[in-house]
Structure 1
Amino acid sequence: MKEYTKNQLALRNGQDKDEIWVAYKGLIYEVTNSRLWRNGKHYEHWAGQDLTEELADAPHNEQVFEKFKVIGALIK
């Protein structure tokens, strides 16, 4: 599995590059085609970052990531 740094993830924020990615529990997910992530924002959450800590405040659980493709792993 390809590995990416936090800086590489940050560039996929919906503004700097065409891809929109988010990380959760060490995996990076492609959310570009999700209508809920247009422009790199989903409610108060921003793409291009690790959302592991933020999921506790979300109205859904981690199963939401099952519908997205895993792009790689986030290097700690």
Structure 2
Amino acid sequence: MKEYTRSQLALRNGSDREEIWCAYKGIIYDVKKSRLWRNGKHYEHWAGQDLTDELNDAPHNENVFDKFEVVGRLVN
């Protein structure tokens, strides 16, 4: 699996590139096909970030990531 740093993930925020990626528990997902992530925003959340700590505040559980393509692993 390809590895990406936090800086590389931050570039995939939907503003400068077509890529809209988010990380959860060390796995990076491509969320651009979701209408809820248009322009890299999802309510008060932004793409290009690790959302692991923010999921507790979401109205859904981690299974939401099952429908998205895995693009890589987040490394430090």
TM (norm. structure 1) is: 0.98
- Aligned-CA RMSD value: 0.5
In structure 1, what is the equivalent of residue 38 of structure 2? 38
SS of residue matched to 1:53: helix
Percent identical:
75
1:64 and 2:64 are equivalent in the alignment: yes
Aligned residues: 76
Once residues 38 and 52 of structure 2 are traced to their aligned partners in structure 1, the CA distance between those partners, rounded to angstroms, is 20
Return 5+ residue gaps in structure 1 as ranges.
none
Deviation at 1:33, TM superposition (A): 1.1
Matched residue, 2:25: 25
C-alpha distance in 1, partners of 2:55/2:2?
24
TM-score normalized with structure 2 length: 0.98
Match of 1:5 in 2: 5
Could you tell me how far 1:16 is from its partner in structure 2?
1.6
